[in-house]
Structure 1
Amino acid sequence: MLDANLKAQLKSYLERVTQPIEIVASLDDGAKSQELLSLLRDIQTLSDKITLLDNGNDARKPSFSINRPGADISLRFAGIPMGHEFTSLVLALLQVGGHPSKASADVIEQIAGLKGEFNFETYFSLSCQNCPDVVQALNLMAVLNPNVRHVAIDGALFQAEVDARQVMAVPSLYLNGEVFGQGRMGLEEILAKIDTSAGDKAAEKLNAKDAFDVLVVGGGPAGSAAAIYAARKGIRTGVAAERFGGQVLDTMAIENFISVQHTEGPKLAVALEEHVKEYDVDIMNLQRAEALIPGKDGQLHEVRFASGASLKAKTVILATGARWREMNVPGEQEYRNRGVAYCPHCDGPLFKGKRVAVIGGGNSGVEAAIDLAGIVAHVTLLEFDGQLRADAVLQRKLHSLPNVTVITSALTTEVTGDGQKVNGLRYKDRQTSEVHTVDLEGIFVQIGLLPNTDWLKGTIELSARGEIMVDARGETDLPGIFAAGDVTTVPFKQIVIAVGEGAKASLAAFDHLIRTSAPA
């Protein structure tokens, strides 16, 4: 099951295990059970601290639990955790085996102190780059607290279960049988939802902080670069982000970040955060900005957050990035995550053998259609313009696929459904004004990005597209307020450009500090 290189890597990791591990497999006569058994046998041979039993009686087959003899740990994988979830498997083995987590002492203490019964189920797909964060967070919680139980379920392998629960987006989380959440969620975010007092405590801590020399709002590539450049100047630097990594977390393959031939968004996001942590930077995660109160006559600027927290700083760098653009048609919100999706890599496997549409004929839309064509029964790609805008090489590949239909000059007007899930869409032919209906089960929206500036309207100068207006130095129309990355008017929304713009804005902020005098 595992090749020689992977075995060697896994063996080196398992040398860190200090406690015995017991793996109990629940299998049937199917091919997937035999595949899982082969994987588990490979793992058993790599450490003398691992015992494998194949007499489990869990209802989900194939599945396996990982436990420590004498401990009360309920951690299970239903399916074969390869692909993006192989890292989740490795971490589960290490943590059950006594290797300490990298989570902060405060977070570990918070997990251990949870009271009540928390039975979590997570549906994932092996191609989903967002799912491992959720799976790994809940696995760690199950290791640290016997009140937390977790099973991670491969939705593609347990299709009947997915259909019965109408799971149409991953990761999908259930707590005690009820829907808990969908989409990427980190450990701190999950804790904040089940430990309701945690948010108030965090806000109190933030409110008590001294003013920063530079406060960066946003933790994507631009925000990370800004924080590093500010910290290297030896000034008091803080980063407040709704989720560290930003839009990069939702990006799959990255092959144009100079000097890095290939990486994936979540890996780059981790690298960015680790680089920032190398410096004296105060990172404040899960903080969604709600208001900017510019300081007047040399006073401190203030940023207020949805959590109730408020931070002050001599200079502020806005790097809140962008989000997926929506169609804004009837039915889109009603059927979001019930057939309307925005991440083909994550949710594509849930539509195996079904009919889907992709909205958008740029590079992202055409790439999505190509990827989905290998999974689903049929793809209909709809483009508003009279022709596709994707690179020629992508268009050639798209047109070579037998199960793809391309429709141009198409204005999507409505998403239709049966009250539970999507069953089609309507579009108008922009040349004839004729309205058409397409029967399908899924819609993937790939029509670009919107800047995250709703909270800034009326405070700072924005372009007609809602982007923050900046000059060549990243300066806005407000003295001491700078901006960088996809949230600004700088053209070409690329990671490498955002990094450079973040560095530039930080240097400009430092220059502003040394040329002006603001009270502490």
Structure 2
Amino acid sequence: MLDANMKQQLGTYLNNLRNPIELKVSVNDSPKSKELEELAQEIAQLNDKISLTTTRDAIDGRSPVMTIAKAGNDARVAFAGVPMGHEFTSLVLALLQAGSHPSKEDAALQEQAKSLTRALNFEVYVSLSCHNCPDVVQAVNLMAALNPNIKATMIDGGVFPDEVKARNIMAVPAVFLNGEPFANGKMTLAEILNKVDDDADAKAAAALAGKDPFDVLVVGGGPAGASAAIYAARKGIRTGIVAERFGGQVSDTVGIENFISVKYTEGPKLVAHLEEHVKEYDVDVMKAQKAVALRKTDAGLTEVELANGAVLASKSVILATGARWREMNVPGEQEYKAKGVCFCPHCDGPLFKGKKVAVIGGGNSGIEAAIDLAGIVEHVTVLEFSDTLRADVVLVKKAESLQNVNIIKMAMTTEVLGDGERVVGIKYKDRRTDETHVIELAGIFVQIGLVPNSEFLRDTLALTDRGEIVIDAHGATSMPGVFAAGDVTNTPYKQIIISMGSGATAALGAFDYLIRR
């Protein structure tokens, strides 16, 4: 299972175990069971503090399953399936946490997890190609490692297809809590805690209350926000950054090949580096906080009101709230979200293996999605509203060369069709003839661009008709002392490297505003 290099690296990590841990594997006669048992044996051989037992009995009704526990304790973390691919890191962290190696997660969040008193049993359905799933798996695993009232199980949907079908799972990560649907999609530890902790908002508001005004307060934690915070902090001024989640849209990006000086990286890795860089400076980082209002005070400060009721004040503000996936806004879309209507082909594509799907949008993201899906599904239909494809020529040629990809131009999606439980088709109108057509399929991947996260600013700042914040060459908005950067602005090109540059510009603009003031 593990090559020599992986064994060496894992062995080095396992030297950090502070106490013995126990692995228990439920085995059967399936090929995946043999893989999981082999993986467990290889891990156990790497460190004397690890013991291994096997059983033919199912664990919580499943097999193959591997549980991980501190020696002498009941197992609270389990992997149903083989945790390789993107989930290998989840496995390594679970081993270390069972061995009492301290987590690098925010100490306040860890204390919040420890304080939960009710029984919580998390089941996270994943696909091993999903780059968003590990964040959720690792979050609930850490909660289980910290709190004896909590259990966490990763379930590979490819190994347990009957469960996936029975629970009508059509998008991952799919999280169930105590047997009931809890959430779909990527979530941070802070977001999960906010959902299960009834006092989360009050605690967060109390923790933020009474903070002294910042010199620069950055709203948003994507590339623009991180860059702005770093540039501001380097000036030696009091800097804060408040964000729903660190990384923004980049967290959902798989391959990045146009970040200058780095030939290839992946979104989660880049986000980790951004956060690490921000933490090198004296920046007050406030996660899992959503801004809902912006206003000026009589004293000339700018206040940012958060969803939990807390209010932060600053001498200058940089808005870097980014953008989100644009939706089709047609009947059936909301009803069948995560039930066939998807936005991440890498995460959810494996769930449609051997089925027919559609991709909405003929830009780079849409055509790339069609190419990726073509290797998994039976057939891909691309629906493009315009009479031309906006994707790069090399991508279009690749898609057109694939036998199971069909591209339809001048197609306006009019309705998502379903049977009450899942998507069964899509309806579109031929814009040339006005004829309506129906395609039978199981999944729809929406790839039609982004919408700026600026709704809370609609009556406060000058926005374009698309909702983008209007900025000048220094990143200044229509409100004195308020700057903006990144995908939420009217900057013409939405690229990571451009967002970083605009974040730096906004920070320098804010600093110039402060010293002149």
Query: Is the aligned partner of 1:47 residue 2:75?
Result: no
Distance 1:98 1:56, change over 3 A: farther
- Aligned equivalent of 2:129: 127
Matched AA of 2:69: N
| Aligned counterparts of 2:178 and 2:119: Cα–Cα separation in 1 | 8
- Aligned equivalent of 1:231: 233
Query: Is the aligned partner of 1:299 residue 2:300?
Result: yes
- Greater Cα shift, 218-227 or 298-307: 298-307
| Aligned counterparts of 1:206 and 1:150: Cα–Cα separation in 2 | 30
Q: 1:73, 1:146 within 8 Å by CA — same for their partners in 2?
A: no
- Aligned equivalent of 1:430: 431
Matched AA of 1:338: K
- Aligned equivalent of 2:410: 409
| Aligned counterparts of 2:296 and 2:441: Cα–Cα separation in 1 | 49
- Aligned equivalent of 2:38: 38
TM-score w.r.t. length of structure 1: 0.97
| Aligned counterparts of 1:350 and 1:489: Cα–Cα separation in 2 | 37
1:71-127 Cα deviation digits (max 9, x unpaired): 233110001111110000000011101211112332222222211211110001111
Matched AA of 1:314: K
TM-score w.r.t. length of structure 2: 0.98
Matched AA of 1:461: A
- Greater Cα shift, 219-228 or 188-197: 188-197
- For 1:66-465, what aligned pairs fall within 5 Å after superposition? 66-295=68-297, 299-465=300-466
Matched AA of 1:333: Q
Structure 1 residue runs of 4 or more that deviate by more than 3 Å after TM superposition: none
- Greater Cα shift, 86-95 or 265-274: 265-274
Q: 1:73, 1:142 within 8 Å by CA — same for their partners in 2?
A: no
Q: 2:28, 2:56 within 8 Å by CA — same for their partners in 1?
A: no
Aligned to 2:55, the other structure's residue is in SS state: coil
Aligned to 1:466, the other structure's residue is in SS state: coil
- Aligned equivalent of 1:12: 12
Matched AA of 2:239: T
1:364-390 Cα deviation digits (max 9, x unpaired): 001101111111111111111112221
| Aligned counterparts of 1:389 and 1:183: Cα–Cα separation in 2 | 28
Query: Is the aligned partner of 1:494 residue 2:495?
Result: yes
State the Cα distance separating 1:56 from its structure 2 match: 5.0
State the Cα distance separating 1:42 from its structure 2 match: 1.6
| Aligned counterparts of 1:238 and 1:55: Cα–Cα separation in 2 | 52
Matched AA of 1:305: L
- Aligned equivalent of 1:63: 65
Q: 1:124, 1:153 within 8 Å by CA — same for their partners in 2?
A: yes
Q: 1:117, 1:147 within 8 Å by CA — same for their partners in 2?
A: yes
| Aligned counterparts of 1:56 and 1:43: Cα–Cα separation in 2 | 20
State the Cα distance separating 1:407 from its structure 2 match: 0.8
| Aligned counterparts of 1:105 and 1:284: Cα–Cα separation in 2 | 13
State the Cα distance separating 1:431 from its structure 2 match: 0.5
Aligned to 2:382, the other structure's residue is in SS state: strand
Q: 2:67, 2:75 within 8 Å by CA — same for their partners in 1?
A: no
| Aligned counterparts of 1:401 and 1:37: Cα–Cα separation in 2 | 38
State the Cα distance separating 1:55 from its structure 2 match: 1.3
1:482-515 Cα deviation digits (max 9, x unpaired): 0000111111100001001001100010000000
Aligned to 1:54, the other structure's residue is in SS state: strand
Matched AA of 2:42: D
Structure 2: tracts of 5 or more residues without a match: none
Aligned to 2:25, the other structure's residue is in SS state: strand
Aligned to 2:218, the other structure's residue is in SS state: strand
| Aligned counterparts of 1:192 and 1:385: Cα–Cα separation in 2 | 42
State the Cα distance separating 1:214 from its structure 2 match: 0.5
| Aligned counterparts of 1:414 and 1:147: Cα–Cα separation in 2 | 44
Aligned to 2:515, the other structure's residue is in SS state: helix
| Aligned counterparts of 1:380 and 1:4: Cα–Cα separation in 2 | 42
Q: 2:340, 2:442 within 8 Å by CA — same for their partners in 1?
A: yes
1:382-416 Cα deviation digits (max 9, x unpaired): 11111222111111211121111111110000001
Structure 1: tracts of 5 or more residues without a match: none
Q: 2:254, 2:266 within 8 Å by CA — same for their partners in 1?
A: yes
Q: 1:24, 1:56 within 8 Å by CA — same for their partners in 2?
A: no
Identity of aligned residues (%): 63
| Aligned counterparts of 1:169 and 1:430: Cα–Cα separation in 2 | 31
Q: 1:257, 1:495 within 8 Å by CA — same for their partners in 2?
A: yes
Matched AA of 1:255: E
Q: 1:73, 1:143 within 8 Å by CA — same for their partners in 2?
A: no
Matched AA of 1:402: Q
Aligned to 1:372, the other structure's residue is in SS state: helix
Q: CA RMSD, aligned part only?
A: 1.1
Q: 1:75, 1:151 within 8 Å by CA — same for their partners in 2?
A: yes
Matched AA of 1:96: A
Aligned to 2:478, the other structure's residue is in SS state: coil
| Aligned counterparts of 2:38 and 2:401: Cα–Cα separation in 1 | 37
Aligned to 1:365, the other structure's residue is in SS state: helix
